[in-house]
Structure 1
Amino acid sequence: MKKFTTILCVSVFVAVFLFMFVFSVFLPRTEVSDYSVLKEWPEFSFETFFSGEYLKDVVYCFTDTINSRDRFIDFETKINDLYGIKDDEQLYVVYEESDDEADNSIASEAIPNESSAIIDVTSDISDISDISDISDYSESSIVSSEEESSTPIESDESDTSSSEPMDEPEGDVNPEMSGSILIVGTRAIELYGGSTSGAERYAKILNEFADKLNNSVNVYSMVIPKASAYYVEQAKGYEGYIYRNKRDIDTISNNLSEKVIDVNIYNTLGIHADEEIYFRTDTHWSALGAYYGAQVFAEKAGIAFDPLSEYTKVQREGYIGVMYKYSDYNSKILNNPENFTVYYPDTEYDVYYYSKESFNENPLTFDKDHDGIPDYNGFFWDIGDNQRSSWYSTFIRGDSYAVKAVSKDCKNGRKLLIVKDSYGNALAPFLMKGFEEIYIVDCREYTVSLNDTIEQFGITDVLFAECTFSAVGKYLNYLEELCS
């Protein structure tokens, strides 16, 4: 019996070893990861070979690109969740200090940097090697709560959200910090610190830009709140983040000149906050949120706007956005995927994609059968399941291109230029009924002055559409250069 047991144990061990050897060496390698930039095969040199670095990098490459890499991470998350009660984790909040506020703390005016808390995954997904791991962005700017502030921000009772209280979210609503992300129920939320001086500077840039333009060009400002404006109400001690979103949006509104039309969507989104206007597992708003924002803009611009019932609704199940990674693979995010919804307009239109720097070259052409290039239908791209966290790049393929759309139905002579961050990617499909042409540029990538673009294409309307993080942060440096 003892001999049989020994043989059985050895056989099982050898079988497992052989299986893992074949699995890790001979099965197809993982080429794209949802969660990190994969290690590339090292370049050989005698120096690195004899130093041991070459073989070390080879081993790293093999382990980093093992078949089903991301699913192993998901499995590890599920196993760790079975450990039971965990020790309290130290609280971390990610901030970036601005040049003029380098000494300010969370209790004053620290400016969060969107890229330090969340990498912009909507950059070109075909060149994912350009995206760095979050530790590259946040390590130097993470501030421990014990060093910066021992308690969460207190709410300002005199100036808070005007929206109705939210229904209790599903699951455990006890708030917890996971990585740099606040988890409330099954929702992951970035904490927004804000900056009134950044808000004032944003308004000043737009005012000066509008002053230079012909009066026939309309300039609009749409600053989009982050999810913390509506969904931290039940997170005791964090209610102040509602106030900070509203404070900066109001500061911008109060400082815009008469030449800039304020598209304030704060209250409108608040009315619909019990709907799926923001993703629970991602840093962006949803297509439904963009629809309500576009509706307010359409009213301000005086253009035709279709009800949501006129759009073709398509849902995709199993979406888990970037918050899963940036919450240190929190099981509440993994175990509660959501639907990713798009709304296809019934308006016929043509879309042209250009280099993200300008419209000066010919439109790009895509071989849809080429590996790595997803199919697309107008504004909407088919992002594969192996890039689950990048599904938000469904909208105009993220921030990869400058985009021109030409309506076949609208002939009113109006041409819209959207200057945006990644939040603005989801807006254009809802505006094709109101403009003959729509041009979309990301101010972090576009290199031609906006004045030249307006003159080149006969732009009649300019919409600045970005989230609060961008409107008061480093986005301003790019915006100021484009508007000069």
Structure 2
Amino acid sequence: MENPEIKHIREPDPRPRTQPQPRRRRVDRRALLCSRLSIICLAVLLLAFALTSALLLVLPRSTKSLIEKRDLATFPKFTLESYFSGDFTAGVATWYDDTVPNHDGLKNLGNSFKRLFGLPKSEDSVQFVGKIDKIQDRAPAEGPTPAPVNSGADNNSPGTAGAPLPAGAAGRNMTPDASNLPAPTADPFPNGAVEQRDIIENIMIIKQDGHWRGMEMFAGGGGDSYASALNDLRSKVDPSVNIWSMPAPLPCQFYTPKEYKEYVADQSQCFDNVHAKLGSGITPLNVCAALAAHAEEPIYCRTDHHWQPLGAYYAAEAFASAAGVPFADIGSYTSKKIENSMGTMYAWSKSADLLSDPEDFTYYLPGVPYSAVYYNQDFSFAWDDDDLFGAEIPEDPYVVYLGSDQYIVKVTTEVQNGRKLLIMKDSYGNATVPFYTSSFGEIYVADIRYMERNLVSMIRDLGITDVVFTVSAFSVVGENAGHIQTLIDQNAGETVTDPYPQPGPTTAPPAAE
């Protein structure tokens, strides 16, 4: 029997001993999946980048932006001086970025993304970009010295926001030229509900009645240059010639929300103050009241700085009544619509809200026969297509009128009342021209910024009986007014002869709907 106190001694194991194997680590499937997805995403991004780079090199580059109303950058000319100064390489970078293929489409796509994914705005949000003061806080300034009529300075020099301005802009460089800044009057805004508002580059973006609208803010001004030029013209033309002043108000006169009246001047009061400076023999016509009566109708563009042709119709109606000439009801015209148009308010503000809410631009073809001849700025013959309307461009609908601001246009109608009208205008006056085809036997149209003939000689030698100045409020108080005096002074004493006399109207207009 074994003694329990004797410890058992185990015999050694004759098998060779091996080192213990480490425990196999469990594979992290989530980390593996993330790693693989990262590699796939990186490959897709690299492929997209390579494809985009190839397309940018192969696809034709854009040369003009319709939504921005400008020509895009051109490839810089190489010189050793520009290369070593860095201007050449900087110019190449600017050209490459500005002329990207489908420039406008990409701009619109970017703004659409901003619209969809941007931060929500409060009902009372206001954004000021640049220095925009309340009217009572503005220090009066003297107007700048007017540039030569044909220099194009009013289109290319910086405006209030310091950005280049597109050709055809009506008086965009507005600097008050006198200390008499009128205060705003009672709220002319026809609909009280304003859902949202922003002010961008002197442009207010508001939403009313379910639609977005862009408007420039008007600062007011004395209009001394304008009144002085008209008084000088009055003294130099025959007393039998009727001279009319009919400024075109901007939409902020009628659609500025009540709580923001302090940022705009009352244009009606401004026009009255300017007209008070006119001498006898000049008939003032303030159309603000006539337009205010129709403010709930589409009389102004929402996405462009011009009035709609319907607004021009009501202004022309007021002038025809004051001038004592016949005037055709708008029902006798054939209406045409440019759908989904987008004008200068979007081009200047790049507002995604405006982009999401295009508008219809409706213009009217006269229901009576007429013929139209186009002349260059020096009154040399250009063409005679017998039409007051051009191509329809949704990105810039207002250019449907008169081919361009620069041309002098002559319209001959069947009216036999011995009245010859000369319309001195900026781009605002373009839309009024068709509405006078039932009122005057002959109509001449010239832009105060571009005409190269002497205004006094033109009135005398062409037998003009009526001269109406239809320019925007900006032109009345801003530098464009100085061009009128230049027209009076340039080529003084010259003889003006119509190089293309017409036998009579030849256009057969379409039947009214």
Cα offset, 1:365, TM superposition: 3.7
- Tell me the distance in 2 between the aligned counterparts of 1:138 and 1:7: 46
Tell me the secondary structure at the aligned position of residue 261 of structure 2. coil
Q: Which residue of 2 aligns with 1:40?
A: 74
By how many angstroms is 1:174 displaced? 3.2
Aligned to 1:372: none
* 2:433 aligned residue (421, 428, 433): 428
Deviation of 1:430 after TM superposition, in Å, equals 0.5
1:176 to 166, 191, 198: 198
Query: Do 1:314 and 1:342's aligned partners in 2 also have CA atoms closer than 8 Å?
Result: yes
Q: Which moved more, 1:41-50 or 1:416-425?
A: 41-50
Do the aligned residues in 2 keep the contact of 1:111 with 1:194 (CA within 8 Å)?
no
**How big is the shift at 1:289?**
0.6
Q: Is the contact made by 1:416 and 1:435 (CA closer than 8 Å) also made in structure 2? A: yes
Match runs of 1:29-428 below 5 Å: 29-33=61-65, 34-35=67-68, 36-81=70-115, 82-85=117-120, 89-93=127-131, 106-107=137-138, 109-110=140-141, 131=156, 136-137=162-163, 159-160=185-186, 165-168=189-192, 173-185=195-207, 186-196=212-222, 198=223, 200-232=224-256, 234-239=257-262, 241=264, 244-327=266-349, 329-356=350-377, 358-359=378-379, 361=380, 363-365=381-383, 378-385=387-394, 388=395, 390-407=396-413, 409-428=414-433
Q: 1:268 to 1:106 in 2, by over 3 A?
A: same
Residue in 1 that maps onto 2:53: 21
DSSP-derived class of the 2:244 partner: strand
* TM-score, normalised relative to structure 2: 0.75
Kindly report the root-mean-square deviation, in angstroms, between the aligned alpha carbons of the 2 structures.
3.3
Give the number of aligned pairs. 426
CA-to-partner distance for each residue in 1:71-101, whole Å, 9 max, x for gaps?
2112222222323147974453469xxxxxx
**In the aligned structure 1, how far is the partner of 2:263 from the partner of 2:91?**
46
Distance 1:88 1:79 in 2: 21
Whose helix fraction is larger, Structure 1's or Structure 2's?
1
Q: Mind listing any 5+ residue stretches in structure 2 that lack a counterpart?
A: 1-31, 166-171, 174-180, 490-513
Supply the distance in 2 between the matched residues of 1:466 and 1:279 (Cα, whole angstroms).
17
Q: Tell me if structure 2 keeps the 8 A contact 1:191–1:228.
A: yes
CA 1:481 to 1:59, structure 2 compared with 1: closer, same or farther past 3 Å?
closer
Return the alpha-carbon distance in structure 2 between the equivalents of residues 192 and 339 of structure 1.
25
Paired AA for residue 397 in structure 2: W
Does structure 2 conserve the Cα–Cα contact (< 8 Å) formed by 1:319 and 1:340?
yes
The residue type equivalent to 2:387 in the other structure is G
In 2, are the aligned partners of 1:166 and 1:274 still within 8 Å (CA)? yes
- C-alpha distance in 2, partners of 1:442/1:476? 12
Cα distance in 2 for partners of 1:75, 1:334 equals 10
- Cα distance, 1:27 vs structure 2: 1.5
Letter in structure 2 aligned against 1:42: P
SS of aligned partner of 1:463:
strand
Q: Between the two proteins, what is the percent identity of the paired residues?
A: 29
Deviation, structure 1 residue 335: 1.2
CA distance in 2, matches of 1:206, 1:133: 27
Identify which of 459, 465, 469 aligns with 1:460.
Answer: 465
Q: Distance in 2 between matches of 1:111 and 1:320?
A: 34
Tell me how far 1:227 sits from its aligned partner: 1.1
Q: In structure 2, do the counterparts of structure 1 residues 399 and 66 end up closer, same or farther at CA, with 3 Å as the change threshold?
A: same
Q: Which moved more, 1:63-72 or 1:79-88?
A: 79-88
Specify the code of the residue in structure 2 equivalent to 1:191: M
Alignment partners' CA distance in 2, 1:253 and 1:107: 23
Secondary structure of residue in 2 paired with 1:380: coil
Residue 383 of structure 1, CA deviation: 4.4
User: Partners in 2 of 1:69 and 1:480 — Cα distance?
Assistant: 41
Query: Using a 3 Å threshold, how does the CA distance of structure 1 residues 303 and 90 change in structure 2: closer, same or farther?
Result: closer
Amino acid at match of 2:323: A
| TM-score normalized by the length of structure 1 | 0.79
C-alpha spacing 1:244/1:67, structure 2 compared with 1 (3 Å): same
Which secondary structure state, in structure 2, belongs to the residue aligned with residue 340 of structure 1?
A: strand
Give the 3-state SS of the residue equivalent to 1:175 in structure 2.
Answer: strand
CA contact (8 A) 1:155 1:240 kept: no
Distance, in Å, in 2 between the alignment partners of 1:256 and 1:60 is 49
